Structure 1
Amino acid sequence: MIITLGFEAILVWMTQRARGFDSFINSMMNNMIGLYALLGALTTGLLAVVITYIAVHRVERQMASRLSVMLTNQLNVPALTDTRRNSLAIGRESAVMLEQLRRRVEQLQGEIARYSAQPVMVGGEQKEDILIQERHRIARELHDSVSQQLFAAMMMLSAMRSTLKKADDDDPLLKQVKTIERVVNSAQSEMRALLLHLRPTNLAGKHLREGIIGLLKELQTKIKIRITWELADVTLPAATEDNLFRIVQELLSNTLRHAEAEELEVYLDESANTVILRVVDDGVGFDTTKSEAAGSYGLGNIKERAAAIGGTARVISFPGQGTSVEVRVPIAKEGKQDD
């Protein structure tokens, strides 16, 4: 700007020097007033653009934040229900649309929950009954054949080790026996996981908390693992509780088969009309970006089962750092209609 003013002063002096110094000063003042007016207009326009950009960007971030909360099924937190605060943050029209969307999602979740409670009939029988019968049949066959054979093999290996206990640790035969024992032990753990997975898919008249505690206590008798739990006594529709119970079964089965964990934590709580189920282990973990990772198929089933009752499932895992699975299911409000 200084260079521009200097150049302008030279031009004005060249044209006005014949008229004297006063004329030169008057011309410079007139030109500077026009220049400052132009610069003021440009500055004001630039400030308006910057302020508008910041305001729009802020509204976008506020809206994105609220939508991310909605995606986690937290539909009754103040960030979504406080219309006055939302009007100030994202504008009145956007706040009204957000509230309508929240109510619509809440209504759809209720419909999903009611639909999931209706039995699916196949050839005159309930689909769930057919699945339970088939699971029982497979579990019986596995227990009566494969499981018994694995137990017998372990007994024979133990007898062989007794006869070889005086042998040198470097004895090739003793090494082979130890290797076979590890393989059989691994197969037995896999069998326990499969049998746990094939257990009945409903609570058989129990509450969700009772059913989960029963599963965890049974698991403690089968494998060496530290288990801690904090389970609230939540009350949900029977179909929702059965599905959550089944999700816990699948998570425990995954832990048994893939995690190689030493500690397992299970939490069940209710917050803001949402039931939160979280299972955390300190196992080997896996890369969640790779669909072929061990356990990813079972976790895919868990996500589908959670979606079937109007919920969501989030998996956090890193190789060598364990796995955390959180399932959120909204509590459907009976009789609530959209405005």
Structure 2
Amino acid sequence: MKETEHSNSSILKEIAELLNEETEIVAMLKGALVKFLNGTNFETGWIFFIDAKGRSELVVHENLPEALAHKDCHYLKKGGCWCVSRYRNEELKKASNIIECQRIESAIAADVGDHAGITHHATVPLQSGQERFGVLNVASKDTVRFSEDELALLESVAFQMGSAIKRILLTKQEQEMALVKERNRLARDLHDSVNQLLFSVTLTARAGIEMTEEDTVKEMFKEIQHLTQDALTEMRALIWQLRPKGLENGLLEAIKVYAEMLGLQLHVTVSGVLQFPSRIEETLFRIAQEALNNVRRHAGVAEAALYITVTATDILLVIRDEGRGFVMDKNTKLLSIGLQSIKDRAKAVGGTADWVSEIGKGTELLIRLPY
């Protein structure tokens, strides 16, 4: 008994050290799961993150048998399961034995590979205080029921994982707050210095036009005034990108005001209720900003259309113009900085970005985000 307790303490210590060192959630969970399996009689394991709407995502797995790993873990990702259902209903409070698992049963029934004697699993919620993140499932060959000691150890590891997830999320939140603070500082500096200087140049050019009688000099001052006005518009757009104003009044209002600042007439159509998490809302706003910037700079038109459709699980954002359009070289995967930024922002929240464009017939940007 003492030897087992010593062994368990060593496992928990090793896992705690790893959890304290890692700064990325998936890598942290992967490493902790590997250590746990190597130091116990459990042979395989997998972790689901489950969001506030009850949607599960398989984020980590280790040493899965062929049947469960088949086609990118198809049978683990699809169908129902007691552990996920109990978690969604807030009935899963501690480490528990699973009497039956529909996902494992489906994989075995499909006969898509060796299930290595894995027929049942134990499960435990991943949480920190009142915050819940998902479930950790582990299994062993020809094991229907795990002992109380094994479940207690599993619960201890899950507690460590939950605390580490919370720590990393808090760290990321602090980093994001620091980034917002720095963006605000840069925006203020740009507004107070460069923006004011450009405005002064515009006034000086206007005065020069009125003071001279020579047509050549007048034209030169007009050109300076025109270029400076363009630079002012670009600068204001940059300041907006650093510190978006208007989001407190709603996403649509912020996008409309931004389009107006760029000198674009924006036609808006909405289907569904616009109530999103703050991260999704800012992502939509940033994507719309970049898309409208592209319209102003490249499309050669002064109007665009924006459509937002909200379903129970997804948001579809479409921005369309009838401008010049473009054709991307099929032999290169390089995108413009603007398009790459849009693609990266969508991908960062689990979404997709696509576009359709044709010379002389405009461009349509299609964004789909889960929420």
What TM-score does the superposition give when structure 1 sets the normalisation length? 0.54
**CA–CA distance in 2 between the matches of 1:304 and 1:223?**
23
Paired position in structure 1 for 2:223: 179
1:159 partner letter? A
Cα contact 1:197–1:253 (8 A) shared by 2: no
**CA–CA distance in 2 between the matches of 1:258 and 1:219?**
15
**CA–CA distance in 2 between the matches of 1:147 and 1:256?**
20
Give the 3-state SS of the residue equivalent to 1:152 in structure 2.
helix
Against the structure 1 CA distance between its residues 239 and 126, is the aligned structure 2 distance closer, same or farther, given a 3 Å change threshold?
Answer: same
Paired position in structure 2 for 1:161: 209
Paired position in structure 1 for 2:325: 285
- 1:221-236 map, 5 Å: 222-232=261-271, 233-236=273-276
User: Which residue of the other structure, out of 337, 340, 348, is the alignment partner of 1:308?
Assistant: 348
Deviations 1:110-131 (A, max 9, x none): xxxx89x984626xx6221122
Paired position in structure 2 for 1:121: 171
Question: Who wins on radius of gyration, i.e. which is larger?
Answer: 1
Structure 2 portions without partners, runs of 5+: 1-70, 80-132, 135-165
Paired position in structure 2 for 1:65: none
**CA–CA distance in 1 between the matches of 2:223 and 2:368?**
43
**CA–CA distance in 1 between the matches of 2:292 and 2:175?**
24
- 1:1-339 map, 5 Å: 100=74, 104=78, 119=169, 121=171, 126-164=174-212, 167=214, 171-200=215-244, 203-204=247-248, 210-220=250-260, 222-232=261-271, 233-271=273-311, 273-289=313-329, 296-331=336-371
**CA–CA distance in 1 between the matches of 2:251 and 2:307?**
14
**CA–CA distance in 1 between the matches of 2:317 and 2:211?**
50
Figure out how many residues of one structure are paired with residues of the other and give that number: 216
Which of structures 1 and 2 has the larger relative contact order (alpha carbons within 8 angstroms, sep 6+)?
A: 1
Give the 3-state SS of the residue equivalent to 1:229 in structure 2.
strand
**CA–CA distance in 2 between the matches of 1:251 and 1:102?**
38
Cα contact 2:198–2:228 (8 A) shared by 1: yes
**CA–CA distance in 2 between the matches of 1:288 and 1:272?**
34
1:250 partner letter? E
Against the structure 1 CA distance between its residues 258 and 104, is the aligned structure 2 distance closer, same or farther, given a 3 Å change threshold?
Answer: farther
Give the 3-state SS of the residue equivalent to 1:126 in structure 2.
helix
Greater strand share, structure number: 2
Select between 284-293 and 125-134 the one with higher mean Cα deviation.
284-293
Cα contact 1:312–1:327 (8 A) shared by 2: yes
**CA–CA distance in 2 between the matches of 1:202 and 1:182?**
28
1:192 partner letter? R
Give the 3-state SS of the residue equivalent to 2:350 in structure 1.
coil
Greater helix share, structure number: 1
Give the 3-state SS of the residue equivalent to 1:235 in structure 2.
coil
1:98 Cα shift?
A: 12
**CA–CA distance in 1 between the matches of 2:324 and 2:211?**
36
1:292 Cα shift?
A: 6.5
**CA–CA distance in 1 between the matches of 2:293 and 2:76?**
35
Cα contact 1:202–1:242 (8 A) shared by 2: no
**CA–CA distance in 2 between the matches of 1:330 and 1:131?**
24
1:158 partner letter? R
What TM-score does the superposition give when structure 2 sets the normalisation length? 0.50
Against the structure 1 CA distance between its residues 231 and 101, is the aligned structure 2 distance closer, same or farther, given a 3 Å change threshold?
Answer: farther
1:182 Cα shift?
A: 2.3
Deviations 1:298-317 (A, max 9, x none): 22121111112221100223
